[in-house]
Amino acid sequence: DAGITQSPRHKVTETGTPVTLRCHQTENHRYMYWYRQDPGHGLRLIHYSYGVKDTDKGEVSDGYSVSRSKTEDFLLTLESATSSQTSVYFCAISDRLAGVGNEQFFGPGTRLTVL
Amino acid sequence: GIQVEQSPPDLILQEGANSTLRCNFSDSVNNLQWFHQNPWGQLINLFYIPSGTKQNGRLSATTVATERYSLLYISSSQTTDSGVYFCAVGSNFGNEKLTFGTGTRLTIIP
């Protein structure tokens, strides 16, 4: 257990509404990530953070924004949710440690349905 | 970007059988992980193995980085091994970012 929680765990919302998902970690990990999982695609990276206020885009970032104002929290926002954003969202953490590498650990996931 | 292919896509085995799952990748990597996603959706870390061989109980993994593939071996399968197995890699240029394969769905029949 890498001390990662995600909230909410399940959410149903309507097209056009804003949605914010939260990832919280308790062990001071430097890197945090948001992925989405869809049938036939495995997991795909949306955004990641390499420190407070330092974020970068992944391969499927359109329609998503992120913020990291504290080490322990990484927020994913859908400004105006669309049905194509119905998915399971996973948060992950890692630390790049010399001689150890950059192993990522995943949270329990958030199932989002956009009607 | 880097491409990751896993085979076979589906595998159905009797309890007690052995299996080999394969992961091919298209470029040099300095991060390779194997995960098990259980039927409840939880992603469980199995191995962090950018090169070499590791073993953990009935599971072992080998990565041959120079030939761009990794193998996951499961021996004496149990029903609790059912689920989807993912390989994920980080390339030498941006190893913070993992690229996932589409997975192998393993079903163990009692």
pLDDT digits (tens, 9 = 90+) for B19-39: 999 999 999 888 899 999 999
- Min distance B76 CA to chain A CA atoms (Å): 26
Query: Which amino acid does the sequence have at A114?
Result: V
Q: Name the average pLDDT for chain B.
A: 94
pLDDT for A99 beyond 60: no
Q: Per DSSP, which regions of B1-110 are E strands? A: 4-7, 10-14, 19-25, 29-37, 43-48, 52-56, 59-64, 69-74, 83-91, 99-100, 104-109
Check A96 against B35: CB less than 8 A apart: no
How confident is the model at residue A75, as a pLDDT? 98
Query: With 0-12 CB in 10 A as exposed, 13-18 as middle and 19+ as buried, what is A63?
Result: middle
Q: Do A103 and B31 touch (CB under 8 A)?
A: yes
Residue B69 has pLDDT above 60, yes or no: yes
- Is the pLDDT at B107 greater than 70? The verdict is yes
Q: Is the confidence at residue A2, as pLDDT, over 80?
A: no
Q: What are the tens digits of pLDDT across the range A88-98?
A: 999 999 987 65
Q: Which residues are paired to B53 by β-bridges?
A: B62
Nearest chain A residue (CA) to B104: A42
